[in-house]
Amino acid sequence: MLSVLLIKMGEEMKYLHTMVRVTDLDASLAFYRDALGLELVHRKDYEAGRFTLVYLAAPGDHDAQVELTHNWDPEVYTGGRNFGHIAYAVPDIYAACQRLMDHGVTILRPPRDGRMAFVRSPDQISIELLQDGDALPPAEPWASMGNTGSW
C-alpha cells in the first residue's frame, strides 16, 4: 500500500526551484543571468515584507528554476558545504567557462577532463557545470589549469 501511495505521489509531484539567499541582487543577477546565461522568468518585489524574489532558469528549460531571495535589510548569511551545489548541463563546457571568465568569474575547478567545472556565485553558492553528453577532448588552457580555492 505504501509503495502505491509513493508512486501516486511521484506522479503528482513536480520539481519547482532551489532557493538561495543573496546579499547583492545586482551582483547576483550579473552572475546568474549575464555570466551564467540563465533567463529571468519572474521577479516580484514584496514591499510589506521588504524582500524581492527573482526566478531564473536555463534557456528553454523553465521547469527547473533558481529562486534568488533578496532581503532588503542587510543580513549576514553563513554558507555551509551541506548545501552542496546547483548543477547545469551545458552544450560546450569550454565555451561556458570562457563566458564566465569573460565576466570576471574565477573557474575554481577547470574542466580539465572536458566534462566538469565548478564556480561560485557572489554569495559563494557552488555551481557545477557538466558537459551535456560525452566529455569533450582535453583542450588548453583548461587541461593545464589548476584548481583555485574550494567549490
Nearest to 28 by CA among 97, 151, 103, 123: 123
What are the catalytic residues? 128
Nearest by Cα to 56 from 40, 71, 36: 40
How many Å apart are CA 50 and CA 92, to the nearest integer?
Answer: 39
Torsion of CA 123, 80, 129, 38, to 10 degrees: -40
Helix (H) or strand (E) holding 138: none
